[in-house]
Structure 1
């Protein structure tokens, strides 16, 4: 049986492993230094800027979700950004992702957030199908970003 709960200090090692699996293996991004991962973990533990939820099965973490908190001027209210929702390969196809998503959604409702939103990659059809089953719809916004380290290096040249 899966147990969804907020991350705790005791989770740091297993959660770090899951985060690296998510970052490096799933999204094929460079591995961030462990110090930065741990700093993020402890920042989220205080639950002022965000929160992390984990799924535990047989004393092993098999998934996590990260919420960040911000505001939306259009609603003049706080909002929750679901930045990550990840479950291990062996936990996919079970109810684990649903339970994790519902924990985040319930947190946003219980804490009077205007809404919860998130992004997923264009080619992540499995995630898109999952989110649609959860009742979500695409808002039609186009997402842009500027990576500071790339921008800084190009400005120096």
Structure 2
């Protein structure tokens, strides 16, 4: 397995993984829109995407970080919005390797933190986050509004 930052050379592999990820969250499959979304992120450079590839360059998983800031800390933070590993590649350390790569990137860029959210019933992901030292923050209530 190799992990690398996504460029347009890996657009097709990444778009396919991104489409699978969205379907995992009960969204309809739409490879063309997934490709357009990932391509736009690459062109605008407004996210950092890492992909895990097997020895045949098949996509095994990906993670996507979005830069943000902490006003209180006055430092950059990264929002880890997406982490996905194909069903076939699970239980092989892919998610952990992607998370460690994201963390190394954030440390290299002197970020204050990586923040993420996951479904309450995503037991496997929570176990990984706990293992990697992430802490659940229960001192805030988060709100959202669809626009």
TM-score by length of 2: 0.90
Distance 1:101 1:111 in 2: 15
Q: Which runs of structure 2 are paired with 1:5-154 in the superposition (5 Å)? A: 5-24=4-23, 26-31=24-29, 34-35=32-33, 37-46=34-43, 48-58=45-55, 59-140=57-138, 141-148=140-147
Q: Is the 8 A contact 2:15 2:31 kept in 1?
A: no
Larger radius of gyration between Structure 1 and Structure 2: 1
Gaps of 5+ in 1: 149-157
- State the 4+ residue runs in structure 1 displaced beyond 3 angstroms: 30-33
Give the deviation of 1:20 after TM superposition. Answer: 1.1
Give the deviation of 1:112 after TM superposition. Answer: 0.9
Give the deviation of 1:42 after TM superposition. Answer: 2.7
Give the deviation of 1:84 after TM superposition. Answer: 0.6
Match of residue 152 from structure 1: none
TM-score by length of 1: 0.85
SS in structure 2 at match of 1:54: strand
SS in structure 2 at match of 1:74: coil
